[in-house]
Amino acid sequence: MNGTLNRAFANRRGRGPRGNFELYSWLFMRISGLVLLVIAVFHLFYMHFAIGVDNIDYALVAERWMNPLWKVFDFFLLLFALTHGMNGLRYIVDDYVHRPGWSVAVKSVAFLAYVLLLGIGAYILFTFSVDPATLETAQAALS
């Protein structure tokens, strides 16, 4: 198996793999794809069919995020989706950006975007606090 992987990587860009990062990256894509299949489909069915798109508003999100389990669920959805997507972007850069300098530059910008978006998403999720008066006002406006 290891010889097959070495030949595959040697044919890719004329160099063999350095360490096990590519192997773990490949494995992560398979596992995160399965995890995303479960949590993203659950999110889709729950938010779009059980609740209904017309009923999603501030009051619903605030009420949902009062439960820490929903915050953890949404964080894992963000984490797996963003990491899976950025890892896929890294594969695309490896396949289509042939100059090493440009490859490093594009991957660096992608990594900074990843850290920034994950940081902003986590900050919003875990520092979101519900003001009861605002929640009551939002619920009263919908009634």
Where would I find the H helices in 14-99? 21-44, 58-64, 68-96
Q: What percent of the chain has pLDDT over 90?
A: 64
pLDDT tens for each residue of 44-79: 999 999 999 998 888 888 889 999 999 999 999 999
Residues sharing a CB contact under 8 Å with residue 89, sequence separation 6 or more, in sequence order:
110
Which domain, by its residues, includes 69? Answer: 2-142
CA–CA separation, 66 and 139 (whole Å): 15
Q: How many domains in the chain?
A: 1
The span from the CA of 43 to the CA of 73, in Å, is 9
Q: How confident is the model at residue 7 (pLDDT cuts 50, 70, 90)?
A: low
Whole-number Å distance between alpha carbons of 46 and 67: 16
Q: The CATH number of the domain where 50 resides is what?
A: 1.20.1300.10
Is residue 35 scored above 60 in pLDDT?
Answer: yes
